[in-house]
C-alpha cells in the first residue's frame, strides 16, 4: 500500500504532564506495572486508548483467566492473583461459592473487572488517562533514552515528559517508535489468528452439562462441531469449543473460532477482523441454537470491541527466551517470574494444526529480567506478550497471568531505578527479586520472602 506524502508545518506542542513513569497500555501487564510503580513510590501515569482498563479480558471479552498454577500450586501470585481475587469478591454469592478456590480458567465478569481495575489503580496512586493514543516518542540526543511521548486525544496533541517508560501495549508499539528491533510471527510472517469472543445470555448450563454427560463429554461436542462444518453451518477451522466460561447458569463467555490473516499492528486488518469476527460470531450463535442442547434460546449480549489478538511483535531484548528454556524448565539468576502455561500456538490458516506443549505438573521455568529490556533503549521495559522470546515461547508467555507477573516486575524495577536515576540495566536485580518476594511474587521453591531477608533482619 502506498500513499502520497504531505509535509506538515513545524508545530510547537505543549507539555501536558511531567511524570516519573509512564505506562502505555492498560491490559494485564500495564495494570500490574502501573500499580507496582506507584505503590513503590513513583509518580505514575497509565495511558489507555479505550475508556477502561483490562486489555483482552475486557476489550476483547476473552472469557476466562488462564491458569495461575502449575497444576499443583499457584506460581503467579502478587498483584495479578490479588486482582483476580478482588474480582471474585465483587461478584455475587453464587459466583463466589463456585469459584472461591479456583485459580485456573476463572470466568471473567468484564463489567465487574473494569471497576476492580479502576479502583485498584486509583487506590495505589496511579494517574489514569483514557481515550488516548501515543503518536510518537521524544528521544534523547544519543537515542538511548525516551524523554517523552507525544499523545493524541480529544484535548489535542501534547507531550508527556517522563523519566521511564513501560511499553505494555502488547504490540511493542512504543518500542517500534523508538527503533527497537523486533520479530513478528513465524518464518513466513504467519501470525496466530484472532478470535471474536462474546457473551451469551439465556442459556441453560444444567441442560448443556447433561448433554455432555450423556454423550461422552467433550468428544461428542467435537463431533457436533465437525458435523456442523460438514453441513456448512460453520466454516472450516477450529473444531474445539473448549473455551466456554460460565459466569453463572444462564450467562457464558465464548472463545471459539478464528479469523485468519489479521495483523494486529495494522488498523486496516483490525477493521476487517472486527467485521469478519462479528459475522462469524453470528454464525456460531446460530450453530449453538441449532446443534447444542441448552443453547436453544441463546442471545448474544455483547461481542468484543476488538478482535482478540494473540501475536504481533516480539522485541529483541538482552535475552531471548527459547523453547529449549521452556522444555528444560530452566531457571536464571535474574528470574523475576515463573511460567507453567503450555505452549499454545493456534493454526495460521483454516487447514493448519494447533500446537500444544505442556510441562509436567509442578514444573515451571524462569522468566529472566533481561527479556523485559529492549536493545538500544536504557529507560524502558516491555512486559507482556511482546517480551523478548522466540515464537514458541511467546505462545506460552502471552496469557494474562504471565503478563501480570512481568508487569509487576517492570513497575517495581522502574520505581527502584528512579531512586538513583539508574538505567533499566543499572537496577540491582538481586534487590528487585527481594522486593518482588516481599510484595507477594513467587520465584520458585528455593526462594521465599523469609529466605530473601538479610541475616540481620
User: How far, in Å, are 10, 90, 205, 223 from residue 133 at the CA level?
Assistant: 21, 30, 40, 44
Phi, psi of 161 (to 5 degrees): -80, 145
The separation between CA 423 and the C-alpha centre of its own chain, rounded to angstroms, equals 26
Q: What is the CA radius of gyration of the chain?
A: 22
Q: What angle, rounded to 10 degrees, do the helices at 205-215 and 218-231 form?
A: 100
Do the Cβ atoms of 232 and 287 come closer than 8 Å?
A: no
Helix (H) or strand (E) run with residue 284 in it: helix 267-291
When pLDDT is cut at 50, 70 and 90, the band that residue 1 belongs to is low
Helix (H, G, I), strand (E, B) or coil at 360: coil
pLDDT score for 240: 72
Do the Cβ atoms of 315 and 218 come closer than 8 Å?
A: no
When pLDDT is cut at 50, 70 and 90, the band that residue 214 belongs to is confident
pLDDT score for 454: 39
Helix (H, G, I), strand (E, B) or coil at 76: coil
pLDDT score for 351: 56
Tens of pLDDT along 311-370?
A: 999 999 999 999 999 999 999 999 999 999 999 888 766 555 557 789 999 999 999 999
When pLDDT is cut at 50, 70 and 90, the band that residue 220 belongs to is confident
pLDDT score for 101: 96
Pairing verdict, β 198-201 and 251-255: antiparallel
Do the Cβ atoms of 384 and 174 come closer than 8 Å?
A: no
Whole-prediction pTM:
0.95
Residue 455, pLDDT above cutoff 80 = no
Do the Cβ atoms of 160 and 19 come closer than 8 Å?
A: yes
The separation between CA 15 and the C-alpha centre of its own chain, rounded to angstroms, equals 30
pLDDT score for 265: 97
pLDDT score for 356: 75
Tens of pLDDT along 125-156?
A: 999 999 999 999 999 999 999 999 999 999 99
Helix (H) or strand (E) run with residue 212 in it: helix 205-215
When pLDDT is cut at 50, 70 and 90, the band that residue 397 belongs to is very high
Strand partners, 23: 46, 166
When pLDDT is cut at 50, 70 and 90, the band that residue 218 belongs to is low
Tens of pLDDT along 376-393?
A: 999 999 999 999 999 999
pLDDT score for 21: 99
Half-sphere exposure of 123 (CA within 13 A, CB side): 8
Residue 450, pLDDT above cutoff 60 = no
Beta carbons within 10 angstroms of residue 94's beta carbon: 11
Among left, alpha and beta (phi > 0; psi -120 to 50; other), residue 320 is beta
DSSP annotation of 222 reads: H
C-alpha cell, 382 = 516491555
When pLDDT is cut at 50, 70 and 90, the band that residue 217 belongs to is low
CA nearest to 287, candidates 211, 229, 214: 229
C-alpha cell, 195 = 478470535
DSSP annotation of 113 reads: H
What average pLDDT does the segment 118-123 reach?
A: 98
Tens of pLDDT along 274-320?
A: 999 999 999 999 999 999 999 999 999 999 999 999 999 999 999 99
CA nearest to 439, candidates 396, 408, 397, 418: 408
Helix (H, G, I), strand (E, B) or coil at 338: strand
Phi, psi of 106 (to 5 degrees): -75, 125
Q: Percent helix, strand, coil in the chain (nearest 5)? A: 35, 20, 45
Q: How far apart are CA 457 and CA 454, in angstroms?
A: 5
HEC-encoded secondary structure of 35-84: HHHHHCCCCEEEECCCCCCCHHHCCCCCCEECCCECCCCECCCHHHHHHH
Q: What's the sign of the alpha-carbon dihedral 403, 404, 408, 414?
A: positive
pLDDT score for 400: 98
pLDDT score for 213: 85
Pairing verdict, β 343-345 and 355-357: antiparallel
Alpha helices in 334-443 (DSSP H): 391-397, 400-420, 429-438
Is residue 292 classed exposed, middle or buried when 0-12, 13-18 and 19+ CB atoms within 10 A define those classes? buried
What average pLDDT does the segment 218-226 reach?
A: 80
Class of domain 15-184+311-452: alpha beta
Tens of pLDDT along 6-45?
A: 998 998 999 999 999 999 999 999 999 999 999 999 999 9
Phi, psi of 406 (to 5 degrees): -65, -35
C-alpha cell, 272 = 476487517
pLDDT score for 137: 98
Q: How far apart are CA 243 and CA 225, in angstroms?
A: 13
Residue 407, pLDDT above cutoff 80 = yes
Q: What's the sign of the alpha-carbon dihedral 429, 393, 48, 57?
A: negative
Average pLDDT value over all residues in the chain? 94
pLDDT score for 308: 97
Amino acid at each position: 500500500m502506498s500513499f502520497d506524502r504531505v509535509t506538515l508545518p513545524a508545530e510547537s506542542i505543549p507539555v501536558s504532564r511531567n511524570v516519573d513513569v509512564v505506562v502505555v497500555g492498560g491490559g494485564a501487564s500495564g495494570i500490574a506495572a502501573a500499580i507496582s510503580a506507584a505503590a513503590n513510590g513513583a509518580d505514575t501515569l497509565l495511558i489507555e486508548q479505550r475508556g477502561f482498563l483490562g486489555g483482552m479480558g475486557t476489550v476483547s471479552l476473552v472469557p476466562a483467566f488462564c491458569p495461575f498454577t502449575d497444576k499443583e500450586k499457584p506460581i503467579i501470585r502478587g498483584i495479578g492473583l490479588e486482582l483476580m481475587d478482588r474480582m471474585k469478591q465483587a461478584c455475587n454469592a453464587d459466583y463466589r461459592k463456585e469459584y472461591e478456590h479456583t485459580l485456573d480458567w476463572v470466568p471473567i465478569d468484564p463489567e465487574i473487572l473494569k471497576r476492580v481495575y479502576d479502583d485498584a489503580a486509583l487506590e495505589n496512586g496511579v494517574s489514569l488517562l483514557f481515550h488516548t493514543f501515543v503518536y510518537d516518542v521524544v528521544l534523547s540526543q544519543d537515542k538511548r533514552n525516551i524523554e517523552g511521548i507525544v499523545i493524541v486525544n480529544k484535548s489535542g496533541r501534547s507531550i508527556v515528559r517522563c523519566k521511564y517508560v513501560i511499553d505494555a501495549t502488547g504490540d511493542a508499539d512504543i518500542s517500534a517508535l523508538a527503533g527497537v528491533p523486533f520479530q513478528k510471527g513465524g518464518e513466513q510472517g504467519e501470525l496466530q489468528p484472532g478470535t471474536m469472543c462474546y457473551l451469551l445470555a439465556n442459556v441453560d448450563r444444567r441442560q448443556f452439562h447433561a448433554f455432555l454427560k450423556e454423550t461422552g463429554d467433550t468428544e461428542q461436542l467435537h463431533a457436533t462441531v465437525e458435523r456442523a462444518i460438514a453441513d456448512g453451518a460453520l466454516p472450516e477451522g477450529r473444531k474445539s469449543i473448549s473455551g466456554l466460561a460460565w459466569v453463572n447458569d444462564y450467562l457464558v463467555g465464548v472463545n471459539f473460532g478464528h479469523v485468519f490473516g489479521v495483523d494486529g499492528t495494522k488498523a486496516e486488518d483490525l477493521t476487517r477482523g472486527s467485521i469478519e469476527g462479528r459475522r462469524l460470531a453470528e454464525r456460531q450463535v446460530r450453530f449453538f441454537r441449532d446443534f447444542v442442547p441448552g443453547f436453544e434460546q441463546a442471545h448474544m449480549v455483547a461481542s468484543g470491541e476488538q478482535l482478540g489478538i494473540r501475536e504481533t511483535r516480539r522485541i529483541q531484548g538482552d535475552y531471548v527466551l527459547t523453547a529449549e528454556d521452556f522444555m528444560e524448565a530452566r531457571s536464571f539468576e535474574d528470574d523475576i517470574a515463573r511460567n507453567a502455561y503450555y505452549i499454545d500456538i493456534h493454526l495460521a490458516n483454516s487447514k493448519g494444526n494447533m500446537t500444544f506443549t505442556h510441562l509436567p505438573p509442578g514444573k515451571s521455568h524462569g522468566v529472566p529480567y533481561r527479556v523485559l529490556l529492549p536493545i538500544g533503549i536504557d529507560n524502558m521495559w516491555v512486559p507482556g506478550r511482546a517480551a523478548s522470546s522466540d515464537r514458541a515461547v511467546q505462545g506460552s508467555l502471552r496469557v494474562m497471568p504471565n503478563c501480570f507477573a512481568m508487569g509487576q516486575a517492570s513497575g517495581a524495577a522502574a520505581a527502584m531505578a528512579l531512586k538513583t536515576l539508574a538505567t533499566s540495566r543499572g537496577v540491582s536485580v538481586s534487590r528487585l527479586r527481594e522486593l518482588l518476594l516481599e510484595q507477594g511474587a513467587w520465584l520458585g521453591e528455593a526462594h521465599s520472602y523469609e529466605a530473601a531477608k538479610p541475616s540481620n533482619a
